[in-house]
Amino acid sequence: MRQISYREAIREALAEEMARDEQVVLMGEDVGCYGGCFSVTSGLIDIYGPHQVIETPVSEEGIVAVAVGAAIMGMRPVVEVMYGDFSTLASDPLINHAAKTRFMSGGRQSVPMVYRTPMGSGTGAAAQHTQSLETLFTNIPGLKVIYPCTPSDAKGLLKSAIRCDDPVVFLEHKNYGLSSLIPEEDYTIEIGKADVKRKGTDLTIITYGKMVSQALSAALTLEDDEISAEVVDLRTLRPLDTEAIRASVKKTGRAVILHEGPAFGGFSGEIAAAIVEDEDTFRALKGPVKRIGGQEIPTPFNKNLEMQMAPQVSQIISVSLSLFS
């Protein structure tokens, strides 16, 4: 095992897959000499050249449209879009073409492309660069949606995404400096499998992305009240690992669902449905399913206000304790 950052883990996955298959190409604004908006792709153009690391004009719709066409013709493009908020500009080729081509061609064509973009808070970049839009993608049949927390998961899942024959939306949190241990050897992680980041017996906290770290901090504090909290990291939002969710909730009898975007219309509703629609899981509940989301406001520019907009550890603790009162 060795210690690397979230940023380095994604870069390693890209480098290894580009070396393994020359049809894997990286496309995006400033991904070459500049090294990407968050320095994820730094140095890759020096190794693989402009044929595999392709600098593009500032046109998210154009970049993704070209990638869809390239993928249909046999390449495996990885598109980097600077901020997840700009996905609204790329929505037509991604949603109306990439997601639907296999179905509309009767299975004769596939779109093996990866759409990479950072989501959520942490940069002080205000309302148009800080949203959590993952739920938009999960409502589109034909797209796989991945949102890893740890460097190890990010690397293994990105490698699997690049090898996948269907379009994958790969979301990254902006805490690119987060570091952890990863295996030395080459590895992949299966898409669609959740991971229990912390075992517990009294309460299940279900989350993904940046909020996994918040959940683990809250679980540690809850120990002081003799509450054993299990933290389930979904890792993949679509397909959703309902078996892992239900197995944990049936064991603990209590569920708190956590994500950074607003709770109203958020992905937590789908997770809650997975719990209550299963008869055995519903019967195992000892209290209501609780949801925690970000504040119902556009993200403020002031960084202190931005930090308060996302769910706080204290909030997770308070909601969790309410299930035992």
User: Is residue 189 assigned to a domain?
Assistant: no
Read off the CATH number of the domain in which 318 is found.
Answer: 3.40.50.920
Domain that holds residue 14: 2-182
- Quote the pLDDT of residue 295: 92
Torsions phi, psi for 297 (to 5 deg): -145, 155
| Domain stops at, among 152, 182, 212 | 182
Q: Is residue 196 within 8 Å of 248, Cβ to Cβ?
A: yes
Residues 6+ positions from 168 with CB-CB distance below 8 Å = 113, 114, 115, 143, 144, 145, 146, 161, 191
- Could you tell me if 151 and 19 lie in one domain? yes
Catalytic residue among 8, 17, 60, 230: 60
What value does the mean pLDDT take over residues 56-80? 97
Take residue 103 and report the two structure tokens written for it: 């179905």
- Place 124 in a pLDDT band, splitting at 50, 70 and 90: confident
Query: What is the distance between the alpha carbons of residues 275 and 239, in angstroms, rounded to a whole number?
Result: 16
Q: Is residue 143 within 8 Å of 238, Cβ to Cβ?
A: yes
Q: pLDDT digits over 88-115, tens only?
A: 999 999 999 999 999 999 999 999 999 9
pLDDT above 90 for 125: no
Q: Is residue 172 within 8 Å of 133, Cβ to Cβ?
A: no
User: Is residue 190 assigned to a domain?
Assistant: no
Read off the CATH number of the domain in which 18 is found.
Answer: 3.40.50.970
Catalytic residue among 129, 134, 172, 230: 129
| Domain stops at, among 182, 215, 239 | 182
- Quote the pLDDT of residue 164: 98
- Place 118 in a pLDDT band, splitting at 50, 70 and 90: very high
Q: pLDDT digits over 138-150, tens only?
A: 999 999 999 999 9
Tally of domains within the chain: 2
Q: pLDDT digits over 142-176, tens only?
A: 999 999 999 999 999 999 999 999 999 999 999 99
The bridge status of strand 53-55 relative to strand 144-146 is: unpaired
- Quote the pLDDT of residue 303: 84
- 129 is annotated as an active-site residue: yes
Among the residue ranges 107-116, 193-202, 305-314, the one predicted with the least confidence is 305-314
Q: Which of 209, 203, 199 is nearest to 147 (CA)?
A: 209
- Could you tell me if 22 and 88 lie in one domain? yes
User: Is residue 129 assigned to a domain?
Assistant: yes
- Could you tell me if 212 and 121 lie in one domain? no
| Domain stops at, among 182, 212, 240 | 182
Work out the percent of the chain whose per-residue pLDDT is above 90: 93
